[in-house]
Amino acid sequence: MAAASNNQPLLEVRNLRVEFPTRRGTLLAVDDVSFDIAPGEVLGVVGESGAGKSLTGNAIIGLLEPPGRVAGGEIRLEGRRIDNLPYEQMRKIRGARIGAIFQDPLTSLNPLYSVGRQLVETIQTHKPLSAAQARTRAIDLLKEVGIPGAEMRIDHYPHQFSGGMRQRVVIALALCADPRLIVADEPTTALDVSIQAQIIALLKRLCREHGTAVMLVTHDMGVIAETADRVAVMYAGRVAEIGPVRDVVKHARHPYTKGLMGSIPSLGVRTDRLTQIDGAMPRLTEIPSGCAFNPRCTFKGQRCLVERPNLMPAGDTRAACWLHDRGGVGAPILKETVDA
Amino acid sequence: MIAFILRRLLQSIAVLLTVGLVAFSLFRYVGDPINSMVGQDTPASEREALRERLGLNDSPPIQFLRFIGNAAQGKFGLSYRTSEPVGRMIVERLPATLELSFCAAVFALFVGVPMGVYTGLYPKHWSSRLMQAVSLIGISLPTFVIGILLILVFAVWLHWLPSFGRGETVMLFGWWPTNFLTVKGLQALILPSITLGLFQLTLLMRLVRSEMLEVMRTDYIKFARARGLTNRAINFGHALKNTLVPVITVTGLQLGALIAFAIVTETVFAWPGVGQLFIQSVQFSDIPVMAAYLMLIGLLFVLINLTVDLLYFVVDPRLRSQGGTARVAGH
C-alpha cells in the first residue's frame, strides 16, 4: 500500500467504465468517469435516473449487479487499487473501509433479525470484539444516530421502527467499523420530506465528527447544496461538470447544470410554470454523436454535434462543454432566466 | 398469541368433528354392519337384539355423539375382519409407518433443502441445471414405479438391500418396535424411505430454489453484502432464514401427506404399517378400521398444521408483535 501522504485523495476514480453486455450489444452505462474524494470530504453526485450515478457508487463498493461489470479504468482507496480485488478481499474492505447506505431503509434491514443482532454481526465481522463488547458498541452507535432508548430498542425488530428511525439504524450499520468513506445512494429519497432534512443533517454531523468522507448520490440539488463540499453532475454516463458546490450552484458552466439549478423551485418567487429542461435523457442505446446533451441544448453549435467534449477547466470547476468558458456569462439557457 | 392458539384449537376441533362425521357415515351408509357380523341364517329376532345392544336403533345424532365420545378415548370397536380391538391394531402398526415417514421426511429435508440452496445460489452452474433436470424425474415418476425400480437395481441386481419387510426390529419401552437399533432394520428402511421421500425432496428443492432466487435479489441481502458479511453468513444466516416460512408450510403439509400416502410405498415394500392395514381393511370392508384410520390421519394433519402455525411465530418476529411491543412511532 502506498504511503498515505496528507494531500493524497482518499478515493481516486480514474476513467471508470461500467458496461452491461446485452443481447443487442454492450451498453456503456458509465463512460470515462474520473473524480477524487479527499479525506472527510462530501462529494455530491447528481443527475437524472439512469445517468450512471448509482452504478458508479456500486462499482466503488464492488457490488455491481451482474451482468454489469467494470470494463476499464481504476478505483483506488488510500492509494490501493480496489476495482480488481478478488471477492473475499473486497468483502473485507466493504463495511470496514467503505460503508454503504441505500435508498430504501424499509427494505435494507433483514426483517427476521433484531437490529442489535444485525449491528453485532457487522461489528464482529470487522472488529475483534467479544459479543458483549460488540453489543456495547452497538448501543453506543444507536445512541449516536439519535435513537431514543437505545438500550431497549436494540432488541427490537426492523418492523418496530419508523422509516426515519430505520434509516438511522442503517446509518449506524454503515458506521459500525469506522469506515473512511460512505457511499450513500439516495439515502433520503424514500423518506418523508420532513425526515429527509434530519437524516441529511445527521449524516453530515456524524461524518464531520468521525472524519468520514461521503459520496452522496442523489437527484436532489437542494440536498447537495446544503451538504456537499464538491459536486459532480452526471449526464448519460459521463461527468458533465464537477467542482466546488458554491461555484457549480452559482456559476454553472454546463447548460445541463444550469437547467438543473433552474428547475429547483424557489420560495417567494411566484411562477405560473415550473422551469424544466425540455426533452429527456437519451437511452444508453441512442446516445447521439458529439455531446450527449446536444439534442436538449439550446446553445449547441456545429462542434457539439460531432465532437464529444471532455472535462475542461473553467474557473474552479471543470465542465464537459465546448462553451465552458462562456457558459457562466449570463446567457439565457432556457425560456426563463435562472435566478441563482 | 394465546388468543391465536385458542382460536386455532377451536378450529382444529371443528375439523376433527367434520372428519368424525365422515367416518361415522361410513358405518351408516357402507352396508349394514349387522350383516357382516352375523351368519346368514341368524334369525331376525337375534339380529334385532344385536342391533339394540350395539345401539344401532338410537337416533343418528345420539349414535354420532357416542361414536365421537368413544373415538376421543381411542375406542373404535372391534375389527370386522379379525375381531381384535381396532385401537390396538393401529397402535401396533403405527410405529412402522411413523418411522418410515420420519426417515423419508429427514431424507427429503436434509437433501432437498441444501440442493435448493445450491441451485438457488448458482442457478447457471451446470450441476444446478443437472439437479433441476433430475428433479423433474422425481416429480413426474409415480411412487410405485420408483419403488419397483429401486428394488430391481438395489435388491435384485446388486443384492445390497432387502426388497421387502422391516428387517429386524427391537422393542422399545415394550410396545414400540423400532428399526433404528439394528443394522438389518436400518438397511430395510433405506429403499422405502427414498421411495417415499423422493417426491417431497424434489418439491422442497424447487421451492427453496425459487425462494432463494427471490430473496437473493432483495435489498437487505445487497445491504448485507455492503456490510462486508461473509458469504456463509449471508447465504445461510440471512437468505435461508427468509425462505423458511414457505418451507415450513410445505414441509408440514407434506409430512401429513407422507404419513397418509405411505399406503403406496408400504404396499410396494410389504411394509407392515397402518397404510397396509388400511388397504387390507378396504378389501374386507372393515369399516371400523377404515374409520379409525380416517380419524387418525385427520388428527395428524390437524396437529401438524397447529405446529406449523406456531413455528411461524418462532421464525417471523413480525407476527409476534401484538399488544405490548407494537410499533413505536417517532422520528
- What domains does chain A contain, in order, with CATH numbers? 11-228 (3.40.50.300), 254-319 (no CATH)
Instruction: Output the DSSP codes for A197-244.
Output: HHHHHHHHHHHHHHT-EEEEE-S-HHHHHHH-SEEEEEETTEEEEEEE
pLDDT for residue B289: 87
Nearest by CB to B315, which of A61, A108, A112? A112
Choose the weakest-confidence range: A290-304, B239-253, B298-312: A290-304
Q: Which domains does chain B have, with CATH numbers?
A: 2-72 (no CATH), 90-318 (1.10.3720.10)
- The label of the residue with cell 479504468 reads A73
Contact B226 A157 (CB under 8 A): no
pLDDT for residue B327: 38
Contact B228 A91 (CB under 8 A): yes
pLDDT for residue B329: 36
Judge whether B322 is closer than 8 Å to chain A, CB to CB. Answer: no
Contact A111 B328 (CB under 8 A): no
- B266-299 pLDDT, tens per residue? 888 888 888 888 888 888 778 888 888 888 888 8
Selection from A107, A205, A231, A36 nearest residue B238 by Cα: A107
Nearest by CB to B220, which of A110, A165, A194? A110
pLDDT for residue A118: 93
Q: Which residue has the higher pLDDT, A169 or B79?
A: A169
Nearest by CB to B220, which of A100, A109, A176? A109
Contact B318 A111 (CB under 8 A): yes
Sheet holding A181-185, edge to edge: A98-101, A181-185, A213-217, A42-46, A230-235, A238-244, A317-319, A312-314
Length of chain B: 331
Cell matching residue B315 = 421464525
Cell matching residue A59 = 462499482
Instruction: Output the DSSP codes for A20-85.
Output: EEETTEEEEEEEEEEEEE-TT-EEEEE--TTSSHHHHHHHHTT-PPTT-EEEEEEEEETTEE-TT-
Q: Are B160 and B194 in contact (CB under 8 A)?
A: no
Contact A198 B331 (CB under 8 A): yes
pLDDT-derived band at B33, boundaries 50, 70, 90:
low
The percentage of chain B sitting over the pLDDT mark of 90, rounded to a whole number, equals 8
Residue B222: list chain A partners with CB under 8 A.
63, 102
Helix H or strand E encompassing A287: none
Whether residue B15 has pLDDT greater than 70: yes
Residue A110: list chain B partners with CB under 8 A.
220, 224, 238, 241-242
Residue A173: list chain B partners with CB under 8 A.
223, 227
Helix H or strand E encompassing B254: helix B240-260
User: What's phi and psi for A101, nearest 5 deg?
Assistant: -130, 130
Contact A157 B318 (CB under 8 A): yes
Query: Is beta strand A69-77 parallel, antiparallel or unpaired with respect to A80-81?
Result: antiparallel
In the predicted model, residues of chain A with pLDDT beneath 50 are: 1-5, 328-340
pLDDT for residue A301: 75
Query: Is beta strand A230-235 parallel, antiparallel or unpaired with respect to A42-46?
Result: parallel
pLDDT for residue A266: 64
Whether residue B64 has pLDDT greater than 90: no
Cell matching residue A130 = 467479544
pLDDT for residue B326: 37
CA distances from B105 to A12, B224, B251 (A): 55, 32, 8
Residues 71-90 of B with CB under 8 A from A: none
Nearest Cα of chain B lies from the Cα of A62 at a distance, in angstroms, of 9
Encode A248-262: b = buried (16+ Cβ within 10 Å), e = exposed. bbebbbbbbbbbbbb
Judge whether B317 is closer than 8 Å to chain A, CB to CB. Answer: yes
Query: Is beta strand A42-46 parallel, antiparallel or unpaired with respect to A213-217?
Result: parallel
Nearest by CB to B328, which of A92, A96, A160? A160
Judge whether B152 is closer than 8 Å to chain A, CB to CB. Answer: no
Residue B315: list chain A partners with CB under 8 A.
112
pLDDT for residue A45: 92
Contact A112 B242 (CB under 8 A): yes
Q: What share of chain B is helix, strand, coil (3-state, %, to 5)?
A: 75, 0, 25
Contact B233 A125 (CB under 8 A): yes
Residue B229: list chain A partners with CB under 8 A.
91, 95, 121-122, 125
Who contacts B62 (Cβ-Cβ below 8 Å, separation ≥6)?
B55
Q: Which residue has the higher pLDDT, B174 or B267?
A: B267
Judge whether B238 is closer than 8 Å to chain A, CB to CB. Answer: yes
Nearest by CB to B226, which of A63, A92, A160? A63
Interface test with A, best of B219, B227, B235, B311 (most A CBs within 10 A): B227
pLDDT for residue B69: 86
Contact A108 B219 (CB under 8 A): yes
Q: What is the interface size between A and B, counted as CB pairs within 8 Å?
A: 102
- The distance between the two most distant Cα atoms of chain A, rounded to a whole number of Å, is 68
Judge whether B125 is closer than 8 Å to chain A, CB to CB. Answer: no
pLDDT for residue B31: 67
pLDDT for residue A318: 85
Contact B230 A125 (CB under 8 A): yes
Judge whether B160 is closer than 8 Å to chain A, CB to CB. Answer: no
Judge whether A189 is closer than 8 Å to chain B, CB to CB. Answer: no
Interface test with B, best of A77, A102, A108 (most B CBs within 10 A): A108
Residue A159: list chain B partners with CB under 8 A.
317-318, 321, 327
Residue B123: list chain A partners with CB under 8 A.
none
Residue A170: list chain B partners with CB under 8 A.
223
Residue B185, helix vs strand vs coil: helix
pLDDT for residue A338: 39
C-alpha span between A182 and B40 (Å, rounded): 92
pLDDT for residue A336: 38
Q: Are B164 and B269 in contact (CB under 8 A)?
A: yes
Cell matching residue B207 = 421451492
Who contacts B141 (Cβ-Cβ below 8 Å, separation ≥6)?
none
Contact A94 B228 (CB under 8 A): yes
Nearest Cα of chain B lies from the Cα of A83 at a distance, in angstroms, of 15
CA distances from B260 to B2, B26, B294 (A): 30, 18, 9
Residue B330: list chain A partners with CB under 8 A.
148, 162, 165
Nearest by CB to B241, which of A61, A112, A176? A112
Cell matching residue A298 = 439550446
Judge whether B226 is closer than 8 Å to chain A, CB to CB. Answer: yes
Q: Are A171 and A203 in contact (CB under 8 A)?
A: yes
